Amino acid sequence: MEKINYLAVDLGATSGRTIVASFDGKRVEMRELTRFKNPMIPIGGHLFWDLPHLYREIVEALKQVTEENIKITSIGIDSWGCDFAFFGKDGQLLGLPYCYRDPHTDGAIERYMTMHDKREVYDKTGIQFMEFNSLFQLDTLRHNGCTAFQNADKILFIPDALIYMLTGKAICEYTVASTSQMLNPVTGDLDKDLLMSIGLKREQFGPMTQPGTVIGPLTEQLQEVTGLGPDVKVVAIAAHDTASAVAAVPAKDQEYAYLSCGTWSLMGIESPTPIITDESFKQNFTNEGGIEGTTRFLKNICGLWIFEQCRPEFKDVPSEIGPLTALCETTRFASIINPDDPAFAHPSSMCKAIDEYCERTGQIAPRTPAEYIRCIYKSLAHRYAAIIDTLRSMSPVEIKCLHVIGGGSLNKYLMQMTADELQMPVICGPTEGTALGNVLMQVKAQGLVESLPEMRSIVANSVDLKIYNPNND
């Protein structure tokens, strides 16, 4: 078949990019079109996202598509979860969206639970309790008298907000909504009782929309600005970046766990149904929406965020990521931290936070960049092994290997440490899993593939995989 082109917009918590992808019926080829920063904006003691900046970058990429004479069929947008934007009755953005790392939600869970039952909230949503979950962010804004909250006609998650700005159509995409701790996975919709508990109504959110739904063309204004016609459609893909990434796991069967490895580490299994039990509640596991009715049963782990926050504090070390990470091989440093300890959420100095944790737990604190790096990698691998053990106790299938997707899969030191800790194969790739899953959902929306297994066979045809087997020494 003739190659068909698509545009994937992949937004991360530090940067964003647009990717032009072509599909020939068997494999996908991708090329980065644009890349741009997505910094947190400090204003008035809070942290915000510059949503107009992201919108502008998408529009500039669409203009570049026209300038390069690339004929695209559709556009898909993925991003991180939990965060949202407010829009007024006139359709205008009511201020910048708050960033999930803003400390205004410190203590938000405890405040909300003074009036509500924690187990009841978990039974309704199956979502692990994290203070930046949308439920607690919104309750915090209500509690603080946020004027945007008080005047919001529409509340749209980040990818939905950008779709609204591009098309004029408001939706609530299922996978990103599932991160909010407001969606009931049994009913498949936002829970009206939870919304009522924070002073909101269901109609303030768009209609629930499944991945692979064609939303429509760009607005007439944007068609004129970009030079793209009405035949180019915006598609609701699996809008939560992890949902798109998991869709691109090249697994041949169900006997695996996955790890989306980047700023965050998200480790879990794919389940046909939500797993909401006494044990999952006790272990604070989460049930997030996947494609074709699947559930991503997983645990959020504070991932390479810790390493990235330490990097600016390192002195007299290589700036290139390869030589810098290789420093971990020059030391046998053995202290271990818990990456999910609250001390590492947003400290003013990450190195100091590691020092204080080691001192608090009776361990030797790192002294050199090499020791910090080895401590971080070994701690992540150790944490992954602990989560796999817990997953095995709840998983409906046997876990025989770990599929790692995302940029962290390129870190050979972390991957080998993980294989050694897990004592099972670690299969790495694709590194561009989120973008690949984004594109394949657009292909599926066009009717060119029919199922998740078919998508995964295309992934296997499109990427080279690297396998790490455990060392037994």
Nearest to 190 by CA among 214, 207, 166: 207
CA 345 to chain centre: 17
**How far is 373 from 170, CA to CA, in rounded Å?**
44
Q: Is the dihedral of CA 103, 107, 112, 116 positive or negative?
A: positive
**How far is 217 from 74, CA to CA, in rounded Å?**
9
Q: Annotated catalytic residue: which of 83, 139, 241, 420?
A: 241
Q: What are phi and psi of 471, to 5 degrees?
A: -80, 140
Within 10 A of 412 (CB to CB), how many other CB atoms are there?
14
Residue 241 is a catalytic residue: yes
Rg (the chain; Cα; Å): 22
Q: Are 48 and 122 in contact (CB under 8 A)?
A: no
Cα distances (angstroms) measured from residue 40 to each of 97, 358, 391: 10, 29, 33
Q: Is the dihedral of CA 300, 184, 441, 251 positive or negative?
A: positive
**How far is 178 from 282, CA to CA, in rounded Å?**
20
Q: What are phi and psi of 35, to 5 degrees?
A: -140, 145
Active site residues: 241
